[in-house]
Amino acid sequence: MSEPIIAVEQVTKRVSDATGTLTILHDISFVLQARESVAIVGASGSGKSTLLALLAGLDTPSEGRVMLDGQDLFALDEDARAALRAQKLGFVFQSFQLLANRTALENVMLPLELAGRRDARSQAQEMLQRVGLGERLAHYPRLMSGGEQQRVALARAFVVQPKVLLADEPTGSLDHATGERVMQLMFDLNRELGTTLVMVTHDRAIAARCARQLRIEAGRLMPETLADLPA
């Protein structure tokens, strides 16, 4: 078997404050292969979003390591980690995280421009066409519906053709029908571009569409054979 795209090795995360130390994640280990689709599920406060932040190198573990495409994220300094993130990862958030003062086209062009791509405009236009927003290139986020904004966010995430897409409750702020369309688009792009898809979701129907489910309970990873049991 080829080297996994992500390997999480005995990761523990603790935080401390005046009341003492809280362990958010306990000794988490798993591997993800290229092109997989994986749902991270569990109750609120179980540690799902913390785990996603660690996979992205946006937070640091107290113990253990995260390997991204063969590189130890936390053996890198912050600048090198950011550079690796820009090269390998895409992100989709529940709150869209679009820049309000930039058009849909400019939002999607941004990661390409940061990477020094001269074809940023044409590539961004093509990706917006693929997500059905070819007529909305010049629109600002405030003039777009929630579903349209999330499709812009998807286009921005996929336009760099990342090896891994991380999504945190990507349909959480959308109505059911719009959420269904966005999820279908996400799976279509995942399949077409061969991107590994890792999403945090509370929606069991969405989780069931992924090839695997990783259940987190009170900061611990449950055996995958139990992942489809009720919480």
**Cβ distance 24 to 11 under 8 Å?**
no
Q: Which residue type is seen at 39? A: A
133 DSSP assignment: -
Q: How is residue 117 written in tokens?
A: 């791509």
Q: pLDDT tens track of the chain, all 231 residues?
A: 578 999 999 999 999 988 889 999 999 999 999 999 999 999 888 999 999 999 999 999 999 999 999 999 999 999 999 889 888 998 888 788 899 999 999 999 999 998 888 999 999 999 999 888 999 999 999 999 998 998 999 899 889 889 999 999 888 878 888 888 888 888 888 888 889 999 999 888 889 999 999 999 999 999 864 444 444
Q: How is residue 129 written in tokens?
A: 């066409």
C-alpha 35 chain-centroid distance:
14
- pTM here is 0.84
Q: Are strands 164-168 and 196-200 parallel, antiparallel or unpaired?
A: parallel
In angstroms, what CA-CA distances link 53 with 82, 101, 108? 13, 26, 22
CA distance 103 to 137: 7
State in words which class domain 6-219 has: alpha beta
Q: Are strands 212-217 and 37-41 parallel, antiparallel or unpaired?
A: parallel
CA distance 210 to 206: 7
Helix (H) or strand (E) holding 184: helix 176-193
The total of other beta-carbon atoms located within 10 Å of residue 108's CB is 31
Q: Where are the beta strands (DSSP E) in 162-202?
A: 164-168, 196-200
The total of other beta-carbon atoms located within 10 Å of residue 136's CB is 19
- Phi/psi at 202 (nearest 5 deg)? -100, -5
How do residues 89-108 score in pLDDT, each as one tens digit? 988 887 888 999 999 999 99
Helix (H) or strand (E) holding 25: strand 20-32
What does the longest C-alpha to C-alpha distance in the chain come to? Answer: 54
CA distance 200 to 91: 12
